[in-house]
Amino acid sequence: MKGILLAGGKGSRLYPLTSVGSKQLQAVYDKPMIYYPLTTLIAAGIREICLIITSYDYEKFKNLLGDGSHLGIEINYVIQEKPKGIAHAILLAEEFIENSNFALILGDNIFSGGNDIPKAIAEFEKGALVFAYHVPDPERYAVVEFDSDLKVLSLEEKPLKPKSNYAIPGFYLYDKEAVNISKELKPSARGELEITDLNIQYLKKELLDVHRLSRGYAWLDSGTSISLHEASTYIASIEKRQGMKIGCPEEAAFVRGFISVKEFKELIFKMPICDYKKYLSMIVDGYQTGLL
């Protein structure tokens, strides 16, 4: 399984913050936004990652993440000159995908809690899979309707009268056929290749499954000023209460076995004195003593 992480686009909803840098480089509490979806992919066991970015932000992302080798992963950078839709990113990553199944995650989506995503990825074989998350305001999102056996009945983008309270978060699993199907999609009224249209094509072929995220699982969209603030507040509260960080790629890489204890310590040593460094040092000590 490979991973595609979308960090392009203009981020116009976060202007003027995005006038100085990518939306995904903005702070969500104590970490860059990009750390959270990157951690989700690493924690799910994905080592080959394609990062879709703008040419304007290339150097900033490269300085932050490098080639990923320090995390035991491989990061490939692909430039998206214009925002042409989420499904368009799949076409940009065609060479990267090759014949592999892949996960696609939006760079402003934050997931926390449980093993729903790693489990779904481990069990995925073919077709497409979307996640379902219960929300009080489904009309704001793409909505999935399914029966008691979790068979998908319909998909609708921001419906006026939603058929369920289950929104589709920005995390999707596809087989290699997603490339060919995306090539056949027609641009929407806003001139983009829509991810919902891709999912509908899989539904028509009876190849679309849904994984309902368990209660207690958290999904946050940090793409607006309000949601960015809410995400920061949520993460600050959880981290303060638990004493454990959310969205820490170095920790995820270590726990997954992508880097050794020695490599982890070397990463920590290179960091300036800060709370982040203190936390990672605690993680090393905790795992070595068996207390974590």
Confidence class of residue 187 from pLDDT cuts 50, 70 and 90?
Answer: very high
Per-residue confidence (pLDDT) for residue 66, from 0 to 100: 97
Confidence class of residue 290 from pLDDT cuts 50, 70 and 90?
Answer: low
Domain residue limits at 7: 2-259
Say if residue 98's pLDDT is above 70. Answer: yes
**For the chain, what percent of residues have pLDDT higher than 70?**
98
The verdict on residue 144 lying in a domain is yes
The pLDDT tens digits for 15-31 are: 787 887 889 999 999 99
The verdict on residue 94 lying in a domain is yes
Confidence class of residue 82 from pLDDT cuts 50, 70 and 90?
Answer: confident
Look at the block and give the residue holding tokens 């729903």: 116
Confidence class of residue 286 from pLDDT cuts 50, 70 and 90?
Answer: confident
Per-residue confidence (pLDDT) for residue 215, from 0 to 100: 87
Per-residue confidence (pLDDT) for residue 224, from 0 to 100: 86
The verdict on residue 95 lying in a domain is yes
The verdict on residue 275 lying in a domain is no
Q: Where are the beta strands (DSSP E) in the chain?
A: 2-6, 27-28, 31-32, 48-53, 74-79, 102-106, 109-112, 128-134, 142-146, 152-157, 166-167, 171-174, 208-212, 218-221
| Collapsed DSSP state (helix, strand, coil) of residue 257 | coil
Say if residue 11's pLDDT is above 90. Answer: no
102: Cα within 13 Å, side-chain hemisphere: 25
Per-residue confidence (pLDDT) for residue 207, from 0 to 100: 97
Q: 40: Cβ–Cβ under 8 A, 6 or more apart, which residues?
A: 105, 111, 117, 171
116 and 24 Cβ atoms separated by less than 8 Å: no
Q: How many domains does the chain have?
A: 1
The pLDDT tens digits for 244-272 are: 999 999 999 999 999 999 999 999 999 99
Q: What is the average pLDDT across 140-169?
A: 94
Say if residue 96's pLDDT is above 90. Answer: yes
The verdict on residue 60 lying in a domain is yes
The pLDDT tens digits for 99-121 are: 999 999 999 999 998 889 999 99
CATH code of residue 146: 3.90.550.10
The pLDDT tens digits for 191-212 are: 899 999 999 999 999 999 999 9
The verdict on residue 289 lying in a domain is no
Per-residue confidence (pLDDT) for residue 292, from 0 to 100: 59
The verdict on residue 51 lying in a domain is yes
Confidence class of residue 291 from pLDDT cuts 50, 70 and 90?
Answer: low
Q: What is the average pLDDT across 151-165?
A: 94
pLDDT, mean over the chain? 93
The pLDDT tens digits for 27-79 are: 999 999 999 999 999 999 999 999 999 998 999 999 999 999 999 999 999 99
The verdict on residue 207 lying in a domain is yes
pTM for the structure as a whole: 0.95
Distance, in Å, from the CA atom of 138 to the CA atom of 119, rounded to the nearest integer, reads 25
Angle 241-245-248 (CA atoms, 0-180°, nearest 5)? 170
